[in-house]
Structure 1
Amino acid sequence: MKNLEDWAAVQRVYKQTKSKRATARLLGISKNTVKKLLALSEPPEYQRTEYESKINSFKEQIIEWRCEPCQFNGTRIFRELKKRGYMGSIGPIYRFLKKVDEDVGGHISKKATVRHESPVGDQAQFDWTEYDVIVGNRYRKVYCFAIILAASRKKAVCFSLKVDAESIYEAIQELFDHLGGVTLELLIDNPKALVIENKPKSEDEVKYNTHALMMAKHLGTELNACPCYWPRKKGKVERPFSFIQEQFIKGNSFATMEELNHRGKKFVDDWCDEKHATTKRIPNQHYLLEEKQVLQPLPASHYRMKQLNKRIISPDSFISIDTNKYSVPVKYVGKTLKYRLIYGFRIELYDSKENYILSLEQSEKRYDTISNSEHYEAIAQKVSTSIPQIRRDFTGRFTNGGRYLEAAGRKFDQPTHYARKIMELQELYDDHVLDAFIGVAVDENKMDIKSFRSLLRDYNSGNRELPLDQADSLKEVDYCDDNPALTRDCSYYDFAIEEEPACNS
């Protein structure tokens, strides 16, 4: 049957031509079609051909199997119908079951949800996802743990290379630390690290992992496992993951996992300064004004599944962990420290009483040595003991340094010995003062350290002035009366250790 446009065109053209043949020729259709369309007094209507479905004779049986007490799924019904002679595919069965489910459910969609808004301090939601992230110039699978306060929508994240039980427990506690308190309830998913068994259709209570219960008791919160395969129950914490991937992970790379954690936390903190689309409030403000003060206090320490490992610090102040050596502050040399490895990359060090000391990032290499110069500052030499380095430092710092070493070399067996002693006075005098008297020492042949100190004592007591060129440069600097370089008492320079007399070459 031709459509409405064809019928209207035939009616219009025929009124002008008064000829069926001419109408058919102008419209490019057959004469018989023109006759049929002219015979219709009203516009044609589309009539869909109805085909009998192969499941029609089985519909009552399908409804019976779908309802209680059987409650068969689509695959089971398909298998049972084939035994009874059904020759069709599984598709019509699923389409019919969708209608059955709607009827049985009182015409209420399965997606229908009652939004729950928790009072402040009541609930936090915890979950994680994985990303492929460029860390250290290569892609790595990284797990992002996230927690959100259900009331204020304040969020916190941390990143890990592992998603084992120890990492999950540590992440929950670290994220609560970041939030500054603990909620009365923690809504969680159903991983084995947290939930052993959760059967919503049974009347049995949820069986939680023993360590998870101990961690929750340690925190002062109560675990609440959401129903299996029901992500909308914890939708508040599910939604941010896609935003983090699109706005932070994509297009960024990170030198280390610690850098990823630092930048990721800052990104989420900044995000919490933006108005939330649902609450129409700024999460950080909502949190600070209403929720932070009602959170439960944090425990003094973290719950741990395992005992800490022990290591004795070597004389060169290194701790050995998994074939690698890491420097620690020298005050721990010879002492026993405790450590643990978490998130697959972070080493945490503790003293013998399990007080936290510092964190290190685990090296990916084997037999590697990682040293931090700051750990050796307490015993570091203020002036080098290497003769070539002393020469370089002395001539680099002082304009009269080269002249002194040349003159002292003709008088002493080891001129760098005295050059080093002079540089050790840097804690007492500025370099320009030392430089001036280095020149005086050369001119007056008072280059041994005892004579040099005598020059400085005379200067400090007012019995000797700086050379004119140095004094002129000092006028440009505003020194007050209590400047340490000018007002030390003479007794400050009465050194207890007597120097050996200078030896002439």
Structure 2
Amino acid sequence: MNEIRRLLNYEVVRRSLRGESMRAIARAMGLAPRTVKKILAREDLRRTEGESALERELPARRAPRVSKLDVFGERIAAWLERYPDLTATRLLEELTREGFDGGYTIVRHHLNAWRAEHAAPKRADQRVETQPGHQAQFDWSPFKLEDGTIENVWSCTLAWSRGRSFFADDNQRQPTILRRLVDSFTQLGGVPRECVTDTMSGVVDGWEANQPILNIRFVDFAAYYRFAVHISPRRYPKYKGKVERPFRYIDENFCNGRTFRSREEFREGLAWWRDTHAMQRPHPVTKRPLTEMLDEERPHLQSLPRVPYDTRDIVQRHVDSTAHILYETNLYPIPEKHLGQLVYVCVGPDRLEIFDRGVHAIGEHARIADGAGQTATSDRKRRGRYDITLLQERLAAWGPAAEDFATKLRLRKRTPGPELDHILKLQVTWSVDDVVAAIEHATKYGAFDGRAVERILEARFRPRRLAEQIADATRAQIRDAMRDHPVEQRALSTYETLRLGDAPLRDSREEDARDETADETETE
């Protein structure tokens, strides 16, 4: 019942109580006499029988109207059972073929009502509170700056105290994930016993039988810091709502009404906002400031290891003909004696360390900004583009087949330097044994060309991963170390005791009797 109708009823009742007749009330208020009679009768009925608050506040229900779609109800239900994603346009086309002469709007309304009636019941959200020091949740969320660049905001939240750490990076790679976890554990003052996250790259390699396959390096990191990894169900962000909610708060409070012109400005502001705003908010359950809750939870966290986990990424690079390695479009100089070889590069946020195949340090450089296309400074004398003799020596070290191939290639090519350099670079992707096999195949058909060797490798061999390359180098080191201490196979008789057991012990009295008999025999 709307307000105007209520005021009208009140005025009619008031005049009636004052003694005015129905005709006089109708004349004074501009109503029909029977309208006044109905109002007074309805008010008397309300007083005698009463009414619910819902009937009083909600509009009266209309009687269901006959629809043109009623005769097609069973057909529509059958179509939607078979094709749940059927659109209103397609449904209208099918109905038109069946003789329906209505329009699109009535079909769309009917389709929406049917889907609402047959929708799966929604699951009520249940807040789960854990014990202090038990769980943390972490995730990424991208935010766009004024210049169009994307900053990836990292959040790690302790489940009990809601203590939070925020950082921003330009990427979400695994080394960055590990580094930010170390920073978060340090900032929060300890390590929880369990970490919850979603199916992010660098943590989960894939799913099999509806179970996550964890990344091996992340598993090693978790073992180092002694926490269990728990992956939330796919497409269910509310499962880790304690870390999802802060991202909304960042958008509504930190980013709202502020303009950031650079990454540095955004990161400085985020650190300030975390200390002055985010950690001063009241806890949703206890209503105490988050800083107090975090101080109370810290004693329940596991202690940090004495030495932090080395989160640097490891990549392999080929030392080119100018004695440089290329990383993220930037060139870094390497000692010339390693020209044409493979080296390991440990990539940190600020520095690069280079190691040879024997894991001996051969260089260290300050990291240049990715994508800058610059060359690290060096006081070394600049050399020519290709040292053909040295490149040929590197290739000859792979064996007679490679040496013969390099000699013939040098004789047949006017500029053999790029070809030799290209063949040496192939060891980054394929094993040296596979490259030599491809060289032998190319020699058989007279294809003295670096691209020909690469095509043979692509067609006949499988590229190896970095882990396999490191394993090959480790096996070679073990062989060298054990060369002077070979492991010899034991004779099978050595294991006879394990199979049959020890021989039974003899009775000492029987042995003495045998000895006496033997002595008497010798005397006779």
TM-score (structure 1 length as normaliser): 0.51
* TM-fit CA distance, 1:221: 2.8
Provide Cα deviations, 1:69-117, integer angstroms capped at 9, x if missing partner.
Answer: x898565899789868697434444445545558xx5xxx52x233212
- Please tell me whether the aligned partners of residues 121 and 184 of structure 1 are also in contact (alpha carbons under 8 angstroms): yes
Residues 148-157 or 89-98, more deviating: 89-98
Question: What corresponds to 1:42 in structure 2?
Answer: 41
Change (3 A) 1:254 1:79: closer
Provide Cα deviations, 1:45-70, integer angstroms capped at 9, x if missing partner.
Answer: 9754312475777889999999xxx8
Question: What corresponds to 1:162 in structure 2?
Answer: 171
Question: What corresponds to 1:115 in structure 2?
Answer: 127
Question: What corresponds to 1:235 in structure 2?
Answer: 241
Amino acid at match of 1:295: Q
Correspondent of 2:230 among 224, 232, 249: 224
- Please tell me whether the aligned partners of residues 152 and 291 of structure 1 are also in contact (alpha carbons under 8 angstroms): no
* TM-fit CA distance, 1:358: 9.3
Provide Cα deviations, 1:97-144, integer angstroms capped at 9, x if missing partner.
Answer: 545558xx5xxx52x23321222332110111121235xxx4422110
Query: What is the CA–CA distance in structure 1 between the aligned matches of 2:332 and 2:203, rounded to whole Å?
Result: 34
Correspondent of 2:107 among 89, 113, 125: 89
Q: Which has the higher contact order (CA 8 A, sep 6+)?
A: 1
Query: What is the CA–CA distance in structure 2 between the aligned matches of 1:261 and 1:255, rounded to whole Å?
Result: 11
Query: What is the CA–CA distance in structure 1 between the aligned matches of 2:216 and 2:82, rounded to whole Å?
Result: 34
Provide Cα deviations, 1:247-276, integer angstroms capped at 9, x if missing partner.
Answer: 433455667645643553343244435542
Higher helix share: 2
Query: What is the CA–CA distance in structure 1 between the aligned matches of 2:353 and 2:15, rounded to whole Å?
Result: 97
Query: What is the CA–CA distance in structure 1 between the aligned matches of 2:197 and 2:361, rounded to whole Å?
Result: 30
Question: What corresponds to 1:391 in structure 2?
Answer: none
| Residue 128 (1) aligns with residue 140 (2) | yes
Q: Give the 5 Å matches for 1:18-417.
A: 20=23, 26-29=28-31, 33-38=32-37, 41-43=40-42, 47-52=60-65, 73=84, 75=86, 88-100=106-118, 110=123, 112-134=124-146, 138-197=147-206, 204-250=210-256, 252=258, 257-258=263-264, 260-270=266-276, 271-272=278-279, 275-292=282-299, 294-295=301-302, 297-298=304-305, 300-304=308-312, 306-307=314-315, 346-350=349-353, 362=369, 366-367=373-374
Change (3 A) 1:83 1:170: farther
Question: What corresponds to 2:406 in structure 1?
Answer: none
* TM-fit CA distance, 1:209: 4.4
* TM-fit CA distance, 1:227: 1.9
* TM-fit CA distance, 1:288: 4.1
Query: What is the CA–CA distance in structure 1 between the aligned matches of 2:5 and 2:115, rounded to whole Å?
Result: 35
Query: What is the CA–CA distance in structure 2 between the aligned matches of 1:288 and 1:213, rounded to whole Å?
Result: 29
* TM-fit CA distance, 1:186: 1.6
Query: What is the CA–CA distance in structure 1 between the aligned matches of 2:216 and 2:79, rounded to whole Å?
Result: 40
Query: What is the CA–CA distance in structure 1 between the aligned matches of 2:91 and 2:188, rounded to whole Å?
Result: 55
Query: What is the CA–CA distance in structure 1 between the aligned matches of 2:376 and 2:353, rounded to whole Å?
Result: 20
Provide Cα deviations, 1:471-492, integer angstroms capped at 9, x if missing partner.
Answer: xxxxxxxxxxxxxxxxxxxxxx
Q: What SS does the aligned partner of 2:149 have?
A: strand
Query: What is the CA–CA distance in structure 2 between the aligned matches of 1:250 and 1:39, rounded to whole Å?
Result: 57
Q: Give the 5 Å matches for 1:440-459.
A: none
Q: What SS does the aligned partner of 1:206 have?
A: strand
Gaps of 5+ in 2: 44-55, 379-524
- Please tell me whether the aligned partners of residues 204 and 212 of structure 2 are also in contact (alpha carbons under 8 angstroms): yes
Query: What is the CA–CA distance in structure 1 between the aligned matches of 2:206 and 2:66, rounded to whole Å?
Result: 42
- Please tell me whether the aligned partners of residues 314 and 345 of structure 2 are also in contact (alpha carbons under 8 angstroms): no
Query: What is the CA–CA distance in structure 2 between the aligned matches of 1:72 and 1:212, rounded to whole Å?
Result: 43
* TM-fit CA distance, 1:195: 3.5
Q: What SS does the aligned partner of 1:240 have?
A: helix
Provide Cα deviations, 1:313-351, integer angstroms capped at 9, x if missing partner.
Answer: x9xxx9996666999xxxx99999986667xxx543447
Change (3 A) 1:205 1:326: closer
Q: What SS does the aligned partner of 1:35 have?
A: helix
- Please tell me whether the aligned partners of residues 347 and 359 of structure 1 are also in contact (alpha carbons under 8 angstroms): yes
Provide Cα deviations, 1:190-229, integer angstroms capped at 9, x if missing partner.
Answer: 2344345569xxx742334455445444543332221233
- Please tell me whether the aligned partners of residues 140 and 152 of structure 2 are also in contact (alpha carbons under 8 angstroms): yes
Amino acid at match of 1:280: K
- Please tell me whether the aligned partners of residues 63 and 100 of structure 1 are also in contact (alpha carbons under 8 angstroms): no
Query: What is the CA–CA distance in structure 2 between the aligned matches of 1:122 and 1:71, rounded to whole Å?
Result: 47
Change (3 A) 1:37 1:153: same
Question: What corresponds to 2:46 in structure 1?
Answer: none
Query: What is the CA–CA distance in structure 1 between the aligned matches of 2:130 and 2:362, rounded to whole Å?
Result: 36
- Please tell me whether the aligned partners of residues 320 and 326 of structure 1 are also in contact (alpha carbons under 8 angstroms): yes
Query: What is the CA–CA distance in structure 2 between the aligned matches of 1:296 and 1:305, rounded to whole Å?
Result: 25
- Please tell me whether the aligned partners of residues 220 and 296 of structure 1 are also in contact (alpha carbons under 8 angstroms): no
* TM-fit CA distance, 1:246: 3.9
Q: What SS does the aligned partner of 1:190 have?
A: coil
Change (3 A) 1:23 1:76: closer
Query: What is the CA–CA distance in structure 1 between the aligned matches of 2:22 and 2:281, rounded to whole Å?
Result: 74
Amino acid at match of 1:132: K
Query: What is the CA–CA distance in structure 2 between the aligned matches of 1:19 and 1:293, rounded to whole Å?
Result: 80
Change (3 A) 1:51 1:254: closer
Query: What is the CA–CA distance in structure 2 between the aligned matches of 1:296 and 1:187, rounded to whole Å?
Result: 19
Change (3 A) 1:194 1:82: farther
- Please tell me whether the aligned partners of residues 117 and 150 of structure 1 are also in contact (alpha carbons under 8 angstroms): yes
Residues 259-268 or 356-365, more deviating: 356-365
Amino acid at match of 2:351: E
Provide Cα deviations, 1:325-381, integer angstroms capped at 9, x if missing partner.
Answer: 999xxxx99999986667xxx54344757899997672775559999xxxxxxxxxx
* TM-fit CA distance, 1:153: 1.8
Question: What corresponds to 1:467 in structure 2?
Answer: none
Gaps of 5+ in 1: 372-505
- Please tell me whether the aligned partners of residues 184 and 296 of structure 1 are also in contact (alpha carbons under 8 angstroms): no
Give RMSD over aligned pairs.
5.3
Amino acid at match of 2:247: F
- Please tell me whether the aligned partners of residues 189 and 301 of structure 2 are also in contact (alpha carbons under 8 angstroms): no
Amino acid at match of 1:149: L
